Chains A and B, each alone.
Chain A
Amino acid sequence: MIHEPEVLIIGGGPAGLSAARQAVKAGCKTTLIDDAFDLGGQLVKQTHKFFGSEMEYAGVRGIKIPEILLDEIKDDSNFEYLLRTSATGYYEDGVVTALYENNEMLKFKPKKLIIATGASENTIPFVNNDLPGVYGAGAVQTLMNVYGVKPGEMGLMIGAGNIGLIVSYQLKQAGVDVAAVVEAAPKVGGYWVHASKIARLGIPIKTRTTILEAIGKEKVEGSRIASVDENWQPIPGTEQTINCDFICLAVGLYPLSDIFHLAKCEMKYVPELGGEVPVRDWEMKTTIEDIYVAGDAGGIEEASSAMIEGALAGLSAANALGKEPEDYNNVKCQLINELSELRCGPVGDHIRCGLAQCSMEDENES
């Protein structure tokens, strides 16, 4: 049997949920699939208050946002969602295949497809990086904030971007010590306020420093770090041993773009956005008619912009289906404006530079 929703959304994170909300409110029969046990994507692990605009729930803790996004549509008969459902393929005839609970193959042939698959974590090479006790930051957050399990007693955080800083803070909240945050770049990559929060807790941030090795036989029992020079090479004689029982990698994310490739969307490698991303227009439509992108799948950014992109994608898809969402042009312009406001500051430099490389039309034209 082939399911034929008007809109199929792959991914139930901030972008996918926002897309669903707009599409359902506009009256589209919408199905959302997600491979996790709960809706919300990474939001379910984010115990901190969000930044961004009040309009995108700044000041609200991430874990509270899924229910807010779902509130208006959860009882709508046009909306259904399937959890533990992994999208596995996209075929020439527009059929999306998905594996439900690891045993049942589902087929969808939607009129519009919104891909909001999010991102995956980068790793870095160092000696023994396969030892038990070397985690990605997402895994640490899942253990700690979803399942209530401590990843260890004393961690070493690699990476001083927002994720490394926030997870260090959350570790402390969970009663786990953090020996240090090491960062190869000369400056903190995340927001200074996050850096200040962990500095106040006595966690040192060591910039221009890298991890050389994880020490231990069966599991992590420590780590060796060293300062790096201008060419990012370890400086001999600066090696230091850090006492820790786990190492947490927060060294960036890359967009999960497999389905765009299967659908033969035009792709571009954009380092500023974390990897290969689909070329898109300002309605979030890719180069393949009927396929839209939203959120980190289209470039690594923040949850607030993912929510706006999702809303844009959902709205555009609904409009293309002839549903004439209420006040369509105004709402669309407002969303596009909010996006450019979020991105217009100095911390948005790389995003603007990245988007310029994969956007089909000029922002000013829309």
Chain B
Amino acid sequence: MNPNIENSGIPSKEQIERTLPSKERREKGPYVVIECWQKIPCNPCVKACPFGVIQPMEDINDLPVTDIDKCTGCGLCISLCPGLAIFVIDETYGEEDQALVMIPHEFVPIPKKGDLVQALDRQGNYICDAQVVRTTQNKSNTTVVHLLIPREFILDVRAIKP
């Protein structure tokens, strides 16, 4: 059954697919995906982006809109989104069948570069093992974990087992 975000917090397949940019853009390098589907009064992502990817909002309740060609995949927005709803995917990273997914993480101990962790989907189900390539932190205290995963799971992996 296709989940309904309104009663489960789990988005539908269609919602997820709409977060992806064009195939051409995906082949060029890292890109941000924003899983923010509800109009709530929130705007830190706009200022978080140093490259002007996330467009200024007319109304603070607006959903974020991106100019994806400007995205460098730096991941600053991931650490600053209060809803932990932003991720970065890099399908050009690693081998042919691999990809990088960057996720927000707020649990201790903070994983270290080289660690093998269990990657989870949006319902907390185990998807695959993932290798921690890098972790970054800033003043927000939300760690951004860079995960090397099989490319087939880029739309599934959104968390790691704490």
User: Which residues of A are interface residues toward B (Cβ below 8 A)?
Assistant: 48-54, 58-59, 61, 165, 172-173, 186-188, 191-203, 205, 207, 304, 341-348
Contact = CB atoms under 8 A, between A and B. Distances in A.
B83 A193 contact: yes
A192 B37 contact: yes
B41 A193 contact: no
Nearest to B160: A200
Given A173-B107, A191-B83, A203 B38 contact: no
Given A199-B123, A202-B120, A202-B123, A347 B48 contact: no
Contact of B85 (A54, A187, A196, A198): A196
A53 B61 CA distance: 10
Interface stretch (B1-9, B93-101, B129-137, B144-152): B1-9
Nearest to B7: A207
Interface of B: 5-11, 35-44, 47-48, 59-61, 80-85, 106-107, 120-125, 140-142, 158-159, 162
Nearest to B41: A342
A196 B162 CA distance: 16
Contacts of B9: 165, 188, 192, 194-199, 205
B84 A193 contact: yes
A203 B124 contact: yes
Contacts of B84: 193, 196-197
Given A52-B41, A61-B141, A347-B61, 14 more contacts: A48-B82, A49-B81, A173-B106, A186-B7, A193-B36, A193-B40, A195-B5, A199-B9, A199-B124, A200-B124, A200-B159, A207-B7, A341-B41, A345-B60
A35 B123 CA distance: 41
Nearest to A342: B41
A97 B124 CA distance: 52
A51 B42 contact: yes
A345 B35 contact: no
A50 to B, nearest CB: 6
Given A49-B82, A199-B123, A192 B60 contact: no
A259 to B, nearest CB: 29
Nearest to A50: B82
30 contacts: A49-B80, A49-B81, A51-B41, A51-B83, A52-B42, A58-B44, A172-B107, A188-B9, A191-B38, A192-B37, A193-B40, A193-B85, A194-B9, A194-B83, A196-B5, A196-B35, A197-B9, A199-B123, A199-B124, A200-B158, A202-B124, A202-B125, A203-B124, A344-B61, A345-B59, A345-B60, A345-B61, A346-B38, A347-B39, A348-B41
B99 to A, nearest CB: 19
Contacts of A48: 82
B80 A59 contact: yes
A59 B44 contact: yes
B59 A341 contact: yes
A347 B162 contact: no
A85 to B, nearest CB: 32
A186 B82 CA distance: 25
A344 B125 CA distance: 37
A61 B84 CA distance: 13
Given A197-B83, A200-B123, A200-B124, A192 B59 contact: no
B41 A345 contact: yes
Given A193-B38, A346-B39, A51 B82 contact: yes
Contacts of B140: 49, 59, 61
Given A51-B41, A61-B141, A344-B61, A200 B120 contact: yes
Interface centre among A49, A52, A191 (most CB of B within 10 A): A49
Contacts of A172: 107, 162
A52 B38 CA distance: 13
A33 to B, nearest CB: 31
Contacts of B80: 49, 59
A345 B6 CA distance: 17
Contacts of B41: 51-53, 304, 341-343, 345, 347-348
A194 B42 CA distance: 13
A187 B43 contact: no
A196 to B, nearest CB: 4
Contacts of A49: 44, 80-82, 140, 142
A343 to B, nearest CB: 8
A292 to B, nearest CB: 24
